Amino acid sequence: MLSILHSVKRQMHAIIFTYGQLKEPPMSPRKAGRQELTRDSIVYKARELFIEKGYQELSMRSIAKELECSHGAIYYHFKNKAALFHAIVDEGFFALNKRIEEILGEEQEQDKQKQQRLMLSFLEFGLNNQSQYEMMFMQGRKGMGGLSREAANHCYEQFTIAIQTHSKSLLKASAIMSAFISLHGFISHYHGSVKGYEEVKNSAEDHVEFIIKGLENEAKF
């Protein structure tokens, strides 16, 4: 009787093992890779490709080839190339706008100090995230500028409100625009020639002081 029970038990184990194999067949490398492909991993790799090759030179198929997956796996997360590009650009603007909001939310600072911190934070972001900044603001690569212009305009509007809010008198729109262009020019000048903000920190502080003095003089008239 005992031997019969052992025999039945062995048969049951064999059935369960076989059923498990039928229910969960081993995944092919391609299927496994597609399941592991996340939205963030696509954005990370695509950012590098857009900077290296430009918007016009890439397609969803070429991006998929670099990721070693089917282009359908990318379409699962993004409906087209423009949507993918927007996701990359929006990621940068979200980080920059969040930093601006953090500074504006901090208390116990004079208006001039607040303006200084806003401008220095902008320079720090641009120089510490040069590839990202290029996609956000620099219009040099054909086809990329128009897609990021709307987000850039929104960021500029936030910058304008922040600077005006912490000015002692009403500033002309042209004065704030000049300040923004001057900050952008500083980043563009050092773009690709320095690794990060710390290398030019002193020059950045002098540059911001120069801009603020210009705004103060403008406010007197």
Do 100 and 196 belong to one domain? yes
> Which residue range is the domain that position 134 belongs to?
89-220
Residue 123, token pair as written in the block: 């320079």
| Residue 154 pLDDT | 81
Q: What is the pLDDT of residues 201-211, one digit of tens each?
A: 999 999 999 99
| pLDDT tops 90 at residue 118 | yes
**13, part of any domain:** no
Helices (H), the chain: 2-23, 29-36, 39-53, 60-67, 71-75, 81-105, 111-128, 130-137, 145-165, 173-190, 201-220
* CATH number of 119's domain: 1.10.357
Indicate the residue among 53, 79, 105 that finishes a domain.
Answer: 79
Percentage of the chain lying above the pLDDT 70 cut: 77
On whether both 194 and 101 belong to a single domain, the answer is yes
Q: What pLDDT is attached to residue 24?
A: 36
Q: Is 109 a residue whose pLDDT tops 70?
A: yes
Burial 170-205 (b: 16+ CB within 10 A, else e): ebeeebbeebbeebbebbbebeeeeeebeebeeebe
The pTM for the full model equals: 0.75
CA-closest candidate to residue 160, choices 121, 127, 115: 115
The answer to whether residue 66 sits within a structural domain is: yes
Stretch 96-110: mean pLDDT: 84
The mean of the pLDDT values for the chain is: 80
How many domains in the chain? Answer: 2
Contact 159, 203 (CB under 8 A): no
CB atoms inside a 10 Å sphere around CB 3: 7
CA dihedral (161, 104, 210, 182) positive or negative: negative
CA distance 89 to 136: 6
Kindly state whether residue 125 falls inside one of the protein's structural domains.
yes
How confident is the model over 6-58, as pLDDT tens digits? 443 444 344 333 333 333 333 333 444 444 688 988 998 898 898 888 888 89
Average pLDDT for residues 94-116, to the nearest whole number?
86
Residues 213-218 have a mean pLDDT of 88
